[in-house]
Amino acid sequence: MVIAALLTLTIALAWPVPRLMAGMTTFRRAPRAALVVWQSTTVGAVLAALFAAPAALPYVIGPTAALADNATQIAVAVAVSGLIAGRLIVSGHRVGTRLRAHRRRHRRLVDLLAVPVGADGSHAAHMRVIEHPTPTAYCVPGMRRRVVLTQGTLDSLPEDQLVAVLAHERAHLRARHDLILEFFTVIHEAVPSWFRCEMAMHEVKLLIEVLADRAAVRATGVVSTARAIVGMATGAVKPEGMLAMGESPSAARLRLELLQPGPVAGLPAGVAATVMYLFATSVVIMPVALLVVAWATA
């Protein structure tokens, strides 16, 4: 029973649940709670997958059987869980190495091209301005972080919108949104490709942008932030090769609609968030509880 429940939980959390959750767009209104739900669902799925084989053991060999007599069964259980853990570790290593190599290369390039705006120790010490007409702003996270702006951004956005852009990027860096994304990317790539949920990755990325947008709203207000989002999206003079970008204006529009908190699924934001946090907690507890039950009752 318990093993069936664990397997069901694994499959549910890995396949239908993320797809269902990605469709429940109302939860975007509570981006922080929604991100926690995504993270806990992911952790829950990983735990359930890791625990399935160990939970099956007491049923296969009986809880009181001497372990030495059942080496094969135990070896199989360890191998199954080990395989899953191994995939996660390999994926973690590959994603981490790749991201850091890219960031390092990019930071070098930026540092070679752009003059620091602020002096050492000043607020703007990590800011770099690249001489280019296309309005672009982004951050390079990591130990030696950078906020990169193009001259086109400085030229085309009025000051209140620049404040919004910088508040947005600083929010990414301060809250280490890169680590949240890295976590999801690692799990995403550890799963066989036919099993991956692209929608979930999209949703998580959107939620992270919404969080940063809301930091910008707190810094400079809704209208300035909205104008900045639109200004950045529309002011772009596209150099060749930059057209083939996915996720674009529709994402900017979604973000405009999500700048301010509002009712989630008809509930006041606070109530909805509480429910979401409770769900998040139970999703992590469930696989652990099932493993304990498996060994206690078998």
142-149: long-range contacts, CB 8 A cutoff, minimum separation 24: 142/100, 142/103, 142/107, 142/178, 144/107, 145/173, 146/107, 146/110, 146/111, 147/173, 148/110, 148/114
Q: Please list every residue from 67 through 106 that binds other proteins, using CB under 8 A.
A: 98-99, 102-103, 105-106
Which residue lies nearer to other proteins by CB, 189 or 203? Answer: 189
Contact region for other proteins (CB under 8 A) — 9-17, 74-82, 139-147, 279-287?
A: 139-147
Which residue lies nearer to other proteins by CB, 216 or 264? Answer: 216
214 part of the interface to other proteins, by CB under 8 A: no
246 part of the interface to other proteins, by CB under 8 A: yes
Dihedral angle at the C-alpha atoms of 179, 181, 184, 186, nearest 10 degrees?
-70
Among 47, 53, 56, 229, binds other proteins (CB under 8 A): 229
What is the total residue count of the chain? 298
Min separation Cβ 20 and other proteins, Å: 22
194 part of the interface to other proteins, by CB under 8 A: no
Which residue lies nearer to other proteins by CB, 2 or 208? Answer: 208
CB neighbours of 228 closer than 8 A, spacing ≥ 6? 157, 161, 162, 164, 165, 168, 216
Q: Please list every residue from 99 through 128 that binds other proteins, using CB under 8 A.
A: 99, 102-103, 105-106, 108-113, 115-116, 120-121, 125-126
**What are the backbone dihedrals phi and psi of residue 215, each rounded to the nearest 5 degrees, phi first?**
-65, -40
CA angle 57, 63, 65 (to 5 degrees): 100
Which residue lies nearer to other proteins by CB, 89 or 223? Answer: 223
Q: Please list every residue from 257 through 286 that binds other proteins, using CB under 8 A.
A: 257, 259
The 3-state DSSP class for residue 115 equals strand
Closest CA to 269 of 22, 27, 35, 41: 27
Spatial separation of the C-alpha atoms in residues 30 and 34, rounded to whole Å = 6
247 part of the interface to other proteins, by CB under 8 A: yes
Min separation Cβ 3 and other proteins, Å: 34
Question: DSSP of 123-159, one letter per residue?
Answer: TTTTEEEE--SS--EEEE-STT-EEEEEHHHHHHS-H
Min separation Cβ 274 and other proteins, Å: 27
CB of 212 closer than 8 Å to CB of 169: yes
Can you tell me which residue has the tokens 């008809």?
A: 266
Which residue lies nearer to other proteins by CB, 51 or 184? Answer: 184
Contact region for other proteins (CB under 8 A) — 13-21, 36-44, 164-172, 276-284?
A: 164-172
Size of the site for other proteins (CB under 8 A): 76
22 part of the interface to other proteins, by CB under 8 A: no
CB of 225 closer than 8 Å to CB of 217: yes
Min separation Cβ 295 and other proteins, Å: 38
CB of 217 closer than 8 Å to CB of 160: no
Spatial separation of the C-alpha atoms in residues 262 and 269, rounded to whole Å = 6
208 part of the interface to other proteins, by CB under 8 A: yes
192 part of the interface to other proteins, by CB under 8 A: no
Min separation Cβ 180 and other proteins, Å: 9
Among 63, 86, 96, 239, binds other proteins (CB under 8 A): 239
